[in-house]
Structure 1
Amino acid sequence: MSSKMVVKQPQPVMDHQDSNEWSSGICDCCQDVPECCFAFWCFPCFTCITAKKYGQCLCLPLLDGFGLIPPISMSMRVSMRQRYGIRGDMCNDCVYSFFCTSCSWCQMSREMKRRQIPIVLVNARYQ
């Protein structure tokens, strides 16, 4: 009598958010206090690290200091809205980038953390 071995591989489970709104408000810095403090005390470092996590050049946000409206901050907001399907318009992105630059970067960082789609292995057993 022959025996048949059945191997069952774990399948990835993806958590997906379908919201078309920002997951936090522009002034919800208390949702991630350490990150807010980091942005407050060392804003250039914070923006560079956030841009790198988003997949952009590490030093790109340093170019924001050469204009009236920070072009990199505004571009990142527009790009993030398009990538995650968040409602909004360029006028609001411009206002937030100009008047609330640090809060805007904190909001983008929180959004990236919440919108990451982790792959979780369920029922994985090693024998």
Structure 2
Amino acid sequence: MVVNQPQPVMESRESDEWGSGICDCCQDVPECCCAFWCCPCFACITTRDYGQCLCLPLLDIFGLIPPAAMSMRVSMRQRYGIKDTMCRDCLFATFCNPCSWCQMSREMKKRNISVLLVGAKHT
């Protein structure tokens, strides 16, 4: 007898575009103000909420192109199936860093996809 277990499937019914533009800060003004006045703190909180290391955005201090912001944008695009380019990710992370973090935060709130991992134990 062969028993096939259902496999977990993560299906997104959302668009393959960003839910908001890079300059749509008016959608969440308090969040935008926090990102503008204290971008490192806001970036750390957003990274933690995304499920990554809290201190990851502090690496952005040491480089010309912010590696954490760029990596987060690419990862978020892959997770949510957003079509965009690494070139645009690089431009937004470098020249519009607070706006980029706000956009990512808004996207996480909009998508709010819970991932449930179920472990099976063979007895």
SS at match of 1:57: coil
Structure 1 unaligned residues grouped into runs of 5+: 1-15, 119-127
Check whether the contact 2:14–2:111 (CA below 8 A) recurs between aligned residues: no
Aligned to 1:105: 101
Aligned Cα root-mean-square deviation (Å): 1.1
SS at match of 1:52: helix
1:58 aligns to 2:57 (yes or no): no
Aligned to 2:82: 86
Which structure shows the higher strand fraction? 1
How many residues in Structure 1 have an aligned counterpart in Structure 2?
103
Paired-residue identity, %: 74
- Higher Rg of the two aligned structures: 1
Instruction: With the length of structure 1 as denominator, give the TM-score of the two structures.
Output: 0.78
Deviation at 1:65, TM superposition (A): 0.9
SS at match of 2:107: helix
Instruction: With the length of structure 2 as denominator, give the TM-score of the two structures.
Output: 0.81
Deviation at 1:50, TM superposition (A): 0.2
Q: Structure 1: which 4+ aligned runs deviate by more than 3 Å?
A: none
1:42 aligns to 2:32 (yes or no): no
